[in-house]
A = this chain, B = another copy of it.
């Protein structure tokens, strides 16, 4: 029996007062209420969380049980796949439902990043790269390497990257859950300035996603159960492709794992990219969104700039990308991101996205969530089934 999304919860993203545990409890309760059930109706729970030292809670799955007395003694498990930890949790829950072992799952993605200082965050995120060869390199530096290699082979991508940043910042204005709801003009994103310094050349501050706290939750049920509930969003296609960890063992000019994941998920869904109403994609850096245009097959290799410069991925374009504001402006609480992408896409498909963010006639949504630099690659194709 296939797993289906029947309810959700989502904190605002940003620097939050709430503790890691409080965020988890808050979205758990919100999602249960949204699905019209209580903890006693849930068969098992999953937590997506990266951590790596950002909070002292190294064994956090059970925290979910504290949200509702009815959850006591239910199986609880934590999944980690770097920035795709949320999708990892979701996909594990889908397997459990598909196996027939359980009927109703609660999946939470959460990350508290602002409890430690910036250096500690950089160190924690750095733990997601291959230490033997990449220790000491920050993630902005790793993605800067991608941008520089791209420039050498295909020409300077920074103008396209500025357009992507401006697009995503403009979109977040309409997302009340987003961390940065201020439109940033194209020229601001384009030029180095005091307020937009170089982080790792050629990446400027506007090319990098944010340090965020946040949590998101999904209630899943088997299809039969889901169809008795208020609304249901199904997975028409899913794929998880993992690539080698060392950058040295991969082609720095493309996200090969992402390409394969998109191909597999679209084939399983029996659709092409043209059939999608929108895509939420993993823009941890603007160069990532550019490479992802190519990985998803929107343009051929080296031609990703066309998709943004010709307006294809704008909200009114042929394939709106990151109308939520993306990681760039919505925020990127590591473990929450994959779950958040599914929540916001489900909202679009049932017509419950915030005003200004809601797309007309959204029928099929694509999601790409990745861990590391296209090491963990998850693609979901969602559609409303009730």
Binding site for B on A (CB under 8 A): 21, 44-45, 50, 52-53, 56-59, 61-63, 65-66, 72-82, 88, 91-92, 94-101, 124, 127-129, 131-132, 135, 240-246, 249, 256-257, 260, 371-372, 375-376
With known contacts A59-B245, A95-B95, A127-B58, A260–B66 Cβ distance under 8 A: no
A220 to chain B, nearest CB (A): 13
Q: Is the CB of B124 within 8 A of A56?
A: no
Q: Is the CB of A63 within 8 A of B101?
A: no
Distance, CA A257 to CA B62, complexed state (A): 12
With known contacts A75-B242, A244-B65, A257-B73, A59–B101 Cβ distance under 8 A: no
Q: Which of B59, B72, B131, B375 is in CB contact (< 8 Å) with A244?
A: B72
Q: Is the CB of A59 within 8 A of B75?
A: no
Q: Which of B45, B78, B127 is in CB contact (< 8 Å) with A80?
A: B78
Subset of 16 A-B contacts with CB under 8 Å: A44-B240, A52-B58, A56-B135, A58-B80, A59-B81, A59-B127, A59-B371, A59-B375, A61-B80, A61-B81, A61-B242, A65-B244, A75-B240, A76-B81, A95-B98, A95-B99
Q: Is the CB of A50 within 8 A of B58?
A: yes
Q: Is the CB of A242 within 8 A of B74?
A: yes
- Inter-chain contacts of A245 with B (CB < 8 A): 59, 62-63, 65-66
- Inter-chain contacts of A72 with B (CB < 8 A): 243-244
Distance, CA A375 to CA B78, complexed state (A): 13
> How would you classify the secondary structure of chain A's contact residues: helix, strand, loop or mixed?
mixed
- Inter-chain contacts of A94 with B (CB < 8 A): 99
- Residue ID in chain B nearest A64 by CB atoms: B242
- Residue ID in chain B nearest A76 by CB atoms: B242
- Inter-chain contacts of A128 with B (CB < 8 A): 58-59
A10 to chain B, nearest CB (A): 24
Distance, CA A81 to CA B50, complexed state (A): 13
- Inter-chain contacts of A52 with B (CB < 8 A): 58
With known contacts A88-B77, A92-B92, A62–B242 Cβ distance under 8 A: yes
Other CB < 8 Å A-B pairs besides A57-B127, A78-B79, A94-B99, 20 of them?
A56-B131, A57-B131, A58-B82, A59-B127, A59-B129, A61-B80, A66-B246, A73-B243, A73-B260, A76-B242, A77-B79, A77-B81, A77-B88, A77-B92, A77-B242, A78-B88, A79-B80, A95-B101, A98-B101, A99-B100
- Inter-chain contacts of A56 with B (CB < 8 A): 127, 131, 135
